[in-house]
């Protein structure tokens, strides 16, 4: 069972907002016991966004489901003592501070390794623990900007701000993957590990093809490449009712199927027109505008041509395929997305709301195991 993979693994989460809490939530889905440690005033993510009647935003509730939450003042002697007790019994510590903050609190990487030599200590920061940008503040938009990702995203007029925040989630994924690898390594060596993961490099890791294009042929133009909007056969078109279709018959066989289905066989040979295919894009756009989005969906339903409707979020969660897969769940006035992995046909268990708990009680229970 998927939820048994990390059973007995204890994770401390000292992170705020999105990246660290998402990474540790995925670990919880694999069966880890996650304790989120917040300052006395709480994670600022609790009040970032529309608030429920209990004074907490839904975004905080979503990324911290399945966890126990404690509040400790790491600037206070008692708080540091309790935190040290938790570290002693923990397997993983994920913290999202800027470089140097943990050391100023009395918990440098060296000190943490002394307290618990088996600890997997993951620092998840904006720009990493080294380099000239390491101490700088940032958010998802600035990480994407520095990685070059923002420059190649969106229409020709200007870069587009992506949603959901790409660097936050790619960084969370990278951190979770590194922690799992480190735990596997510890099972062989008995030694912990120090992980340095940056949100900027979470998106940088996806940029190798773009960097290579830029170095060999010049800077890629937005809407200037094969999969950035310059090709008629990989484009988003507005339908007659204002909805949109994603038309992506990249392979020639799919393009042939599409052209024949829309009764435009004359377009087949034009797939190789030079980029940007401005004239062909205009012709396809004019055709798509003659029917509503769902009319096109019905007309192309039996055609193998890589065309799908651009669904609004509320439509996406009700789509038959989404429902059949079972990862999107409406519960506790939230729409949660479970870890989208099937292991031996089974998915992760449903997540429960986070529980505010007592650090001293958890530390005592951990010492007894």
Spatial separation of the C-alpha atoms in residues 171 and 153, rounded to whole Å: 18
Closest CA to 172 of 56, 243, 94: 94
Query: Does residue 128 contact residue 196 with C-beta atoms inside 8 Å?
Result: yes
CA-CA distances (angstroms) from residue 292 to 184, 247, 295?
52, 14, 5
Residue-wise pLDDT for 202-243, tens only, equals: 999 999 999 999 999 999 999 999 999 999 999 999 999 999
Spatial separation of the C-alpha atoms in residues 369 and 353, rounded to whole Å: 25
pLDDT at 49: 87
Spatial separation of the C-alpha atoms in residues 322 and 330, rounded to whole Å: 12
Mean pLDDT calculated for residue range 257-264: 98
Q: Please say if the pLDDT value at position 369 is more than 80.
A: no
Domains and CATH numbers, the chain: 2-206+329-368 (3.40.50.10540), 235-316 (3.30.1540.10)
Give the rounded percent of residues in the chain with a pLDDT score beyond 90.
Answer: 95
Q: How far apart are the first and last CA of the chain?
A: 23
Using CA atoms in the order 248, 251, 254, 258, what is the torsion angle rounded to 10 degrees? 60
Spatial separation of the C-alpha atoms in residues 70 and 123, rounded to whole Å: 20
Spatial separation of the C-alpha atoms in residues 239 and 285, rounded to whole Å: 8
DSSP character string of 44-71: GGGGSSSB-TTS-BHHHHHHTTT-EEEE
Mean pLDDT calculated for residue range 158-174: 96
Q: What residues are labeled active site?
A: 139, 168
* Residue 29 pLDDT level (bands cut at 50, 70, 90): very high
Q: Please say if the pLDDT value at position 3 is more than 90.
A: no
Residue-wise pLDDT for 276-316, tens only, equals: 999 999 999 999 999 999 999 999 999 999 999 999 999 99
Mean pLDDT calculated for residue range 189-195: 97
The strand ranges marked E within 168-321 are: 193-198, 235-238, 244-247, 307-309
Give the rounded percent of residues in the chain with a pLDDT score beyond 70.
Answer: 100
């Amino acid at each position: 069972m998927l939820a048994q993979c990390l059973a007995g693994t204890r994770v401390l989460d000292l992170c705020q907002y999105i990246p660290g809490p998402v990474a540790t939530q995925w670990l919880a889905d694999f069966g880890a016991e996650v304790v989120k440690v917040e300052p006395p005033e709480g994670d600022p993510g609790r009040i970032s966004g529309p608030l429920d009647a209990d004074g907490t935003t839904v975004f905080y509730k979503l990324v911290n489901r399945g966890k126990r939450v404690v509040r400790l003042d790491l600037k206070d002697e008692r708080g540091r003592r309790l935190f040290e007790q938790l570290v002693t019994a923990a397997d993983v510590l994920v913290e999202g501070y800027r470089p140097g903050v943990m050391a100023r609190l009395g918990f440098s990487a060296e000190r943490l390794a002394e307290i618990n030599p088996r600890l997997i200590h993951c620092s998840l920061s904006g720009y990493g623990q080294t380099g000239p940008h390491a101490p700088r503040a940032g958010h998802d938009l600035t990480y994407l900007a520095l990685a070059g990702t923002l420059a190649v995203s969106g229409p020709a007029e200007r870069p587009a701000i992506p949603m959901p925040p790409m660097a936050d989630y790619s960084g969370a994924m990278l951190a979770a993957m590194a922690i799992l690898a480190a735990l596997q390594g510890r099972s062989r060596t008995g030694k912990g590990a120090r992980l340095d993961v940056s949100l900027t490099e979470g998106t940088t890791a996806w940029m190798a093809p773009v960097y290579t294009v830029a170095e060999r042929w010049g800077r890629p133009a937005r809407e200037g490449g094969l999969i950035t909007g310059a090709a008629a056969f990989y484009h988003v078109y507005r339908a007659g009712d204002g909805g949109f279709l994603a038309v992506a018959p990249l392979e020639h066989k799919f393009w042939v199927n599409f052209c024949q289905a829309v009764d435009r066989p004359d377009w087949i040979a034009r797939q190789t027109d030079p980029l940007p295919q401005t004239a062909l894009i205009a012709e396809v756009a004019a055709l798509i505008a003659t029917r509503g989005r769902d009319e096109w969906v019905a007309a192309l339903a039996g055609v193998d041509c890589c065309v799908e409707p651009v669904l609004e979020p509320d439509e996406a969660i009700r789509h038959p395929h989404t429902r059949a897969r079972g990862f999107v769940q409406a519960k506790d006035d939230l729409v949660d997305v479970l870890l989208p992995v099937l292991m031996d046909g089974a998915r992760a268990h449903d997540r429960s709301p986070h529980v505010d708990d007592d650090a001293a009680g958890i530390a005592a229970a951990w010492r007894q195991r």
